[in-house]
Amino acid sequence: YRRVKKVLAKLNRSREFVFVNDGSHDQSLEVLKDLSAKDLGVKYINFTRNFGQQAAITAGMDHSSGKALITMDCDLQDPPELLPELINKWEDGYDVVYARRSHREDKLFKKYSAILYYKILQKFSDIEISGNIGDFRLIDRKVLTSLKGMREKSRYLRGMVAWLGYRYKIIDYKRPERLFGDTGFSLLKMVRLGMAGILNFSLLPLRLGLVIGLVTIFAGFGFLSYITYDMLIYDTIYPLYKWLSVITFIFTGFLFILVWIMAEYVGQIYNETKGRPIYVINDKENFENEYEDSYSKL
């Protein structure tokens, strides 16, 4: 808060802070209550429980009132000192300004798994998503208005913003190490977010099933051709049931993969049709014009 406030003070602009407490069990809520009491420009939203990073960002967007808004993490790995540059590019006419990590101080597994994931997503999705872009971005009010019309429960905001197709600019920066605390964004949550990106914006799983099926079929015919050739030319006797068992096993594995892929898509359809809100708010503060909470109920 202090670092962002210091940076924005130099710009001489009106601003608001919208913090979202996503079910944390530390003293975050007490800190936010204290800040909001001292600074009416500090607003907070307190969830009833943890609804996830994408839901928290969505809530902050839904409750913002500025001509433009910037989403960023609170661990200071998204440097506030970059805000003036984001705003300058927005003033130049760009509707979306991304902050891209040119270098990241992450563990090797996280770093290279992210690189591989974005390469797969870029190759097989129908949208253009640059690698190493997280949720540190500026978006114009009209972009936000468009996003509010996209209320899917399985949310991948990076893909959703890119899908809208607004004019954008990318700014590179070096992402520093985490200064304090441990991330609550576990490996499982990263996998879920990655799956949301692939399932929402790519037909890769379905196409992958086709590829695996074709490879399996050709491999099966290859085995049968080899056995037939060896038996006819060299009079080798093979217990055919063994090869048939192997081929049957391979095809069974292929069918299981197809069932899993279809289950993922059916599961997403099921979640969408339940009509549950993206998030539930327990309490909030300093929203003078009471927000019509219709979007969170869709």
pTM: 0.77
pLDDT value at residue 126: 72
pLDDT value at residue 170: 97
Q: In what order do the strands lie in the sheet with 17-21?
A: 17-21, 42-47, 281-285
Task: Tell me the torsion sign for CA atoms 4, 5, 7, 13.
Answer: positive
pLDDT value at residue 65: 94
pLDDT value at residue 210: 66
Neighbours of 53 (CB within 10 A): 18
User: pLDDT by residue for the chain (298 residues), tens digit each?
Assistant: 999 999 999 998 899 999 999 999 899 999 999 999 999 999 999 999 999 999 999 999 999 999 999 999 988 889 999 999 999 999 999 999 999 988 766 677 777 777 777 777 777 777 777 878 889 999 999 999 999 999 998 899 999 999 999 999 999 998 877 666 555 556 676 777 777 777 777 766 666 766 777 777 777 777 778 777 887 888 777 787 767 777 787 787 778 778 778 877 877 887 788 888 999 999 999 997 444 443 333 3
pLDDT value at residue 188: 72
Block residue for tokens 């913002």: 64
Q: What is the amino acid identity at position 138?
A: L
Q: What are the DSSP calls for 154-191, one per residue? A: S--HHHHHHHHT--EEEEEEEEPPP-SS--S--HHHHH
Pairing state of beta strands 17-21 and 42-47? parallel
pLDDT value at residue 72: 95
